[in-house]
Amino acid sequence: MPLPLRTAHTADLDPAELRAVRSLLDEAFDGDFGDEDWDHSLGGMHALVRDGAGPAAHGSVVMRRIRHRGRWLRTGYVEAVAVRADVRRTGLGGQVMAALEGIVDRAYDLGALSASADGAPLYTARGWQQWSGRVCALSPDGIVHLPEEEGGVHLRPARTGRPLDPDHELVFDWRDGDIA
Ligand SMILES: CC(C)(COP(=O)(O)OP(=O)(O)OC[C@H]1O[C@@H](n2cnc3c(N)ncnc32)[C@H](O)[C@@H]1OP(=O)(O)O)[C@@H](O)C(=O)NCCC(=O)NCCS
């Protein structure tokens, strides 16, 4: 039987629960998960699976804006997907992603995420599409090209609406830390 999964807004997770999720992320990313990454994962909806040892799997979706062909698309941006090392490849990552995809499909024009090398096989197996076009961002000084983000960006287009065209760039909204 799959472990129960809970979805909750950041505002509905108590401080102890948030601390436990942060510890899961610190361990899962092997020390490569910083305060800005944590900040990026807050303020939206979390999907959380717990087992007897505490948080076992987590991911969140937060709202961002991505401009494409003149429209600023309301984008559900997936952050901080991680599964505790001892329970990987048991379907928990997929369970978390299914919950987040449901939120993206119901609430946003577009789903997007930036995949780590570990994460990419999970997302492509679930139908997320690697973006082959240019990635830019609207910085405080204007639009800047982000070639280092290209290749990692994966999208889940809305079932309705104009298809995304890789001949036209994506322009991400700005934030501190990693833009994508
Ligand atoms: C990436 C991660 C979240 C995957 O979680 P998981 O619970 O192991 O994933 P699942 O068991 O749900 O995998 C579902 C499917 O995704 C694919 N998949 C997941 N991890 C994979 C891997 N390392 N290599 C190849 N395929 C993989 C497979 O198709 C898998 O199905 P299968 O096990 O039947 O072959 C987990 O490895 C992790 O926490 N890694 C460290 C943190 C990280 O990099 N997070 C992603 C940030 S973008």
pLDDT per residue as tens digits for the range 27-68: 999 999 999 999 999 999 999 999 999 999 999 999 999 999
Mean of pLDDT values over 10-34: 97
Q: Using CA positions, which residue lies closest to atom 3 of ligand 1?
A: 82
Residue 160 has pLDDT above 80, yes or no: no
Helices (H), the chain: 15-28, 35-40, 92-107, 120-125
CATH class of 5-172: alpha beta
**Ligand 1 centroid, distance to 119 Cα (angstroms):** 6
For residues 69 and 73, give the distance between their C-alpha atoms in angstroms, rounded to a whole number.
10
What is residue 35's three-state secondary structure? helix
Closest listed residue to residue 7, CA positions, set 97, 86, 110: 97
Nearest CA, atom 4, ligand 1: 93
Pocket test for ligand 1, best of 60, 77, 122 (most atoms within 8 A of CB): 122
Mean pLDDT rounded to a whole number for the chain: 96
Closest residue by CA, ligand 1 atom 26: 121
pLDDT per position as a tens digit, 122-150: 999 999 999 999 999 999 999 999 999 99
- Residues with Cβ within 6 A of ligand 1? 28-29, 81-83, 88-94, 115-116, 118-119, 121-122, 125
Distance CA 62, CA 4 (A): 22
140 C-alpha to ligand 1 centroid (Å): 36
How far away, in angstroms, is 89 Cα from ligand 1 center?
A: 6
HSE at residue 95, side-chain half, CA atoms within 13 A, is: 21
92: DSSP letter: H
Per-residue confidence (pLDDT) for residue 52, from 0 to 100: 95
- Flag whether pLDDT at 161 surpasses 80: no
pLDDT tens digits for range 89-121: 999 999 999 999 999 999 999 999 999 988 999
Indicate which residue's Cα is closest to atom 18 of ligand 1.
122
pLDDT of 159 > 80? The answer is no
Q: Best mutation site among 89, 124, 155 for ligand 1, i.e. most ligand atoms within 8 A of its Cβ?
A: 89
Residue ranges per domain, the chain?
Answer: 5-172
pLDDT at site 134 = 98
Helix (H) / strand (E) containing 156: strand 153-157
133 SS3 class: coil
**How far, in Å, CA of 18 to CA of 58, rounded?**
11
